[in-house]
């Protein structure tokens, strides 16, 4: 009797060990479809038992069950419904020139982000409310209140707000707000049968999962807010976007100073859903220093004032 | 003898796993509704050809975050990396690709799920949720020339894309 290595594979024959190593490599590389092929082949070759193959496949499926497996197209449909839900509470502000400028600025900024291309692209709209707030739905539908725009003294500060929202989109914060159980049941449903249209009970089950996802995200955006670290992450993305585009990142600090003056903990708008601005400023200044924002070129100041006049 | 055959089988499996993953990295899928192949690695680059959701492209060269690819109809050009995914994307249910690929988990996942059918069902159940403005928003798209002028006039940087 020779000594055997004490490992998870202790007692396994070399062949099974090699097969397991291949599976581990496939799993690590995220090649779950390959895992299925390999486990099927492995079981057929007698290298692993059918039970072992099934167990490995289940582990691979479990790894897949996360927000990352929501396809860009699904993210797009989630985003549409989240935006439509936000627009039930906050009416859109129908001001063509202002919305056009908002989109020109926002879409231009998005080119400097980590994910300039999303399934349906970035689109921006003003909300007809005094409340100081901004929301971004998955996939790039961004909504910003008139109250928030009024707080901005310049294009640079508005750019800072939009860049923060783009940060939420590119980091997929909306999708991450979907509660774990919901996503699992949704993904389970999606995995049930592929490549055919679903009717009746299947569709109802899927729509229920969809409703729950929308509820989780819209509730997070309008009521509970993201975790502190999530907001800091969006701020960090905003700084990168502003810097890449040629805006002074310190414009975000200028904006947050204005927000601090109107800070009401648990009050309506950002007070309920965001960390205190002074905390965010401290976090940002740790990254970019405490120098005040440079004066913006007069052309940027002028076009902002002209387009946002009356908002 | 039997043991040697098993060894061969497992080595073949290892090669299959490694090979398939490597091949996956060299071919990617378009993950945006409408993408563009450009003549140069820049959002200002001339559009050579359009790309559709799910198109498979072969990666020829990478200049982070841009990639020069060969499109499904042989066209070559640059596309921003965020428009691509290593995952395979199945076409909408009922299409040729979805049917042929239905046996793979990966494809099945993509072809099912939250789609226009689910949105229609959601709308029917929530009559108060109005998508009119969402549809309107999606049509708001600044022209590349307008963005270029906006950057230049404002003393900003040219949009090469994702310089992070």
A214 at interface of B, judged by CB pairs closer than 8 A: yes
Q: A76 in a domain, yes or no?
A: no
pLDDT tops 90 at residue A185: no
Which pLDDT belongs to residue B98? Answer: 39
Nearest CA in chain B to A80: B134
In this structure, which topology does domain B2-153 adopt according to CATH?
Answer: SH3 type barrels. (2.30.30)
Domain boundary among the residues A64, A80, A102 is at A64
Mean pLDDT of B76-102: 68
Rounded Cα distance between A33 and A191, Å, is 13
Give the closest residue to B113 by CA, choosing from A66, A82, A200, A75: A75
As a whole number of Å, the end-to-end CA separation of chain A is 84
Cβ pair B31:A107 closer than 8 A:
no
Cβ pair B153:A245 closer than 8 A:
no
Q: A266 in a domain, yes or no?
A: yes
pLDDT tops 90 at residue A79: yes
Which pLDDT belongs to residue B41? Answer: 94
- A122 pLDDT band, cuts 50/70/90, is very high
On whether both A153 and A272 belong to a single domain, the answer is: yes
On whether both A242 and A134 belong to a single domain, the answer is: yes
The ipTM, to two decimals, is 0.77
Cβ pair A15:B6 closer than 8 A:
yes
**pLDDT tens per residue, range A12-49:** 334 444 444 444 444 444 333 433 444 444 455 555 55
Which pLDDT belongs to residue A309? Answer: 93
Which pLDDT belongs to residue B10? Answer: 46
On whether both A45 and A99 belong to a single domain, the answer is: no
On whether both A56 and A96 belong to a single domain, the answer is: no
On whether both A102 and A161 belong to a single domain, the answer is: yes
CB atoms within 10 A of CB B111: 30
Cβ pair B137:A141 closer than 8 A:
yes
Count of domains for chain A = 2
DSSP symbol at B22? H
Residue with the larger pLDDT of the pair A90 and A22: A90
B-interface mutation test, from A25, A72, A248, A305, most B Cβ less than 10 A away: A72
On whether both A45 and A157 belong to a single domain, the answer is: no
Cβ pair A33:B104 closer than 8 A:
yes
**pLDDT tens per residue, range A253-311:** 999 999 999 999 988 889 999 999 999 999 999 999 999 888 889 999 999 999 999 99
Per the CB < 8 A criterion, the answer to whether A132 and A270 are in contact is yes
**pLDDT tens per residue, range B5-34:** 444 444 444 444 443 444 444 999 999 999
Which pLDDT belongs to residue A214? Answer: 96
Mean pLDDT of B137-158: 94
Q: A130 in a domain, yes or no?
A: yes
pLDDT tops 70 at residue B45: yes
Domain boundaries defined on chain B: 2-153
* B106 burial level (CB within 10 Å; 0-12, 13-18, 19+): buried
Min CA distance, B103 vs chain A (Å)?
A: 8
Cβ pair B18:A22 closer than 8 A:
yes
A115 at interface of B, judged by CB pairs closer than 8 A: yes
Nearest CA in chain B to A245: B157
On whether both A19 and A157 belong to a single domain, the answer is: no
Domain around A20:
14-64
Mean pLDDT of A99-127: 97
Which pLDDT belongs to residue A305? Answer: 96
Most confident of A63-67, A239-243, B71-75, B91-95: A239-243
The phi, psi pair for B73, rounded to 5°, reads -110, 25
On whether both A261 and A151 belong to a single domain, the answer is: yes
Nearest CA in chain A to B89: A71
On whether both A167 and A281 belong to a single domain, the answer is: yes
Q: A2 in a domain, yes or no?
A: no
Min CA distance, A78 vs chain B (Å)?
A: 7
Q: A1 in a domain, yes or no?
A: no
pLDDT tops 50 at residue B152: yes
Min CA distance, B58 vs chain A (Å)?
A: 18
On whether both A98 and A238 belong to a single domain, the answer is: yes
Nearest CA in chain B to A27: B17
On whether both A155 and A236 belong to a single domain, the answer is: yes
Cβ pair B150:A104 closer than 8 A:
yes
């Amino acid at each position: 009797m020779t000594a055997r290595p004490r490992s998870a594979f202790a007692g396994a024959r070399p062949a099974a060990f090699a097969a397991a190593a291949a599976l581990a490599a496939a799993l690590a590389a995220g090649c779950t479809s390959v895992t299925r092929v390999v486990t099927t082949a492995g079981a057929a070759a007698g290298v692993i038992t059918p039970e072992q193959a099934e167990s490995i496949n289940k582990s691979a499926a479990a790894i897949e069950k996360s927000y990352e497996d929501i396809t860009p197209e699904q993210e797009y449909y989630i985003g549409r419904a989240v935006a439509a839900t936000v627009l039930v509470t906050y009416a859109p502000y129908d001001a063509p020139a202002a919305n056009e400028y908002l989109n020109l600025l926002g879409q231009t900024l998005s080119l400097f982000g980590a994910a300039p291309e999303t399934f349906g692209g970035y689109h921006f709209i003003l909300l007809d409310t005094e409340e100081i707030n901004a929301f971004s739905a998955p996939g790039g539908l961004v909504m910003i209140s008139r109250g928030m725009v009024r707080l901005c003294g310049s294009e640079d500060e508005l750019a800072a707000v939009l860049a923060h929202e783009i940060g939420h989109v590119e980091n997929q914060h909306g999708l991450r707000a979907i509660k774990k159980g919901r996503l699992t049941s949704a993904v389970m449903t999606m995995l049930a049968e592929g490549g055919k249209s679903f009717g009746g009970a299947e569709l109802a089950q899927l729509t229920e999962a969809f409703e729950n996802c929308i509820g989780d995200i819209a509730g997070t955006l309008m009521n509970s807010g993201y975790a502190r670290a999530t907001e800091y992450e969006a701020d960090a993305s905003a700084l990168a976007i502003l810097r890449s585009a040629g805006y002074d990142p310190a414009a975000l600090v200028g904006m947050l100073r204005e927000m601090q003056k109107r800070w009401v903990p648990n009050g309506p708008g950002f007070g309920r859903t965001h960390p205190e601005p002074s905390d965010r400023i401290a976090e940002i200044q740790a990254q970019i220093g405490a120098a005040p924002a440079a004066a913006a070129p007069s052309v940027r100041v002028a076009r902002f004032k002209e387009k946002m006049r009356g908002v | 003898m039997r043991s040697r055959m098993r060894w061969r089988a497992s080595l073949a499996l290892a090669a299959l796993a490694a090979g398939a993953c490597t091949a996956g990295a060299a071919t990617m899928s378009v993950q945006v509704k409408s993408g563009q192949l450009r003549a140069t690695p820049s959002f200002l680059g001339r559009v050579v050809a359009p790309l559709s959701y799910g198109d498979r492209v072969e990666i020829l060269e990478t200049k982070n975050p841009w990639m020069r690819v060969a499109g499904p109809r042989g066209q070559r050009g640059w596309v921003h990396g965020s428009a691509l995914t290593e995952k395979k994307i199945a076409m909408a249910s009922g299409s040729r690709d979805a049917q042929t690929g239905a046996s793979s988990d990966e494809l099945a996942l993509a072809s099912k799920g939250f789609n226009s059918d689910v949105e229609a069902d959601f709308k029917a159940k929530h009559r108060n949720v109005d998508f009119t403005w969402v549809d309107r928003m999606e049509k708001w798209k600044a022209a590349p020339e307008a963005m270029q002028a906006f950057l230049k006039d404002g003393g900003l940087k040219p949009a090469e894309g994702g310089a992070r």
